[in-house]
Amino acid sequence: MNGTLKRLDTVHAKLSQAIRTTNPDLFSRRPSENEWSIVEVVHHLCLVEERVLTELKKSLQTEPATVGFLKKLIPMRIVSLRLTRVEAPKAVTPNNPPPMDELLQTYDTARADLKKFCTEQGRQRLKAMAVKHPVFGYIDGTAAVSMVRFHEERHYKQIREIIKKLGASN
């Protein structure tokens, strides 16, 4: 579990650094009408992470679940690939995000809460949980935490693309 949490920290630090070194005037600008701004991407990340933690906590209230063998073979790394655009479910679509300073605090808090939960529950308990992913269906808790990492990596790439499209170097 420590390795998983360390990898979560690595991606989170990269993304946070990219945001914190970007001109604040760019945070709310969209590269085009059908693309998210940086602040919308970060808001989406917060919503997803909070949702995953909520689902993991709900899973504690149920009997340990068994995720099918084939589901365990899905490499969560595919989440980080930006080959295909995936429409965010309504529950995690950014809508009226708060100011970036407040959002970054929420983002950091969401990560701290997820890490605390993982540490308290441990790897074996996480493996016995099942949460529903909008694309993959039910996955176990360890896969859900791994998905958060790769999801964040995907959006780190997206933020880098946004910065480039807006003409800023980072």
pLDDT band of 156, cuts 50, 70, 90 = very high
pLDDT at 4: 75
What are all long-range contacts of 154-158, with beta carbons under 8 Å and residues at least 24 apart? 154/79, 154/80, 154/81, 154/82, 155/15, 155/41, 155/44, 155/45, 156/11, 156/14, 156/15, 156/18, 157/80, 157/82, 158/36, 158/41, 158/82
User: Tokens 């949490």 label which residue?
Assistant: 5
* Partner residues linked to 116 by β-bridges: none
CATH number of the domain at 2-165, out of 3.40.47.10, 1.20.120.450, 3.30.420.480, 3.30.1180.20? Answer: 1.20.120.450
pLDDT band at residue 70, thresholds of 50, 70 and 90?
low
DSSP 8-state symbol, 90: G
pLDDT at 162 over 90: yes
Alpha-helical regions (H) of 21-99: 38-60, 69-72
pLDDT attached to residue 169:
47
pLDDT tens per residue, range 23-57:
888 899 999 998 999 999 999 999 999 999 999 99
Mean pLDDT across the stretch 14-19? Answer: 90
Q: Which pLDDT score is estimated for 170?
A: 46
Report CA dihedral (167, 7, 77, 159) to the nearest 10 degrees: -10
> Hey, where are the domains in the chain?
2-165
Q: Which helix (H) or strand (E) holds 10?
A: helix 2-20
pLDDT at 64 over 80: no
Asked whether residue 81 carries a pLDDT value surpassing 70, the answer given is no
CB 153 within 8 A of CB 32: no
Confidence at residue 89, expressed as pLDDT on a 0 to 100 scale:
74
The pLDDT tens digits for 94-149 are: 888 999 889 999 999 999 999 999 999 999 888 888 888 877 778 888 888 988 99
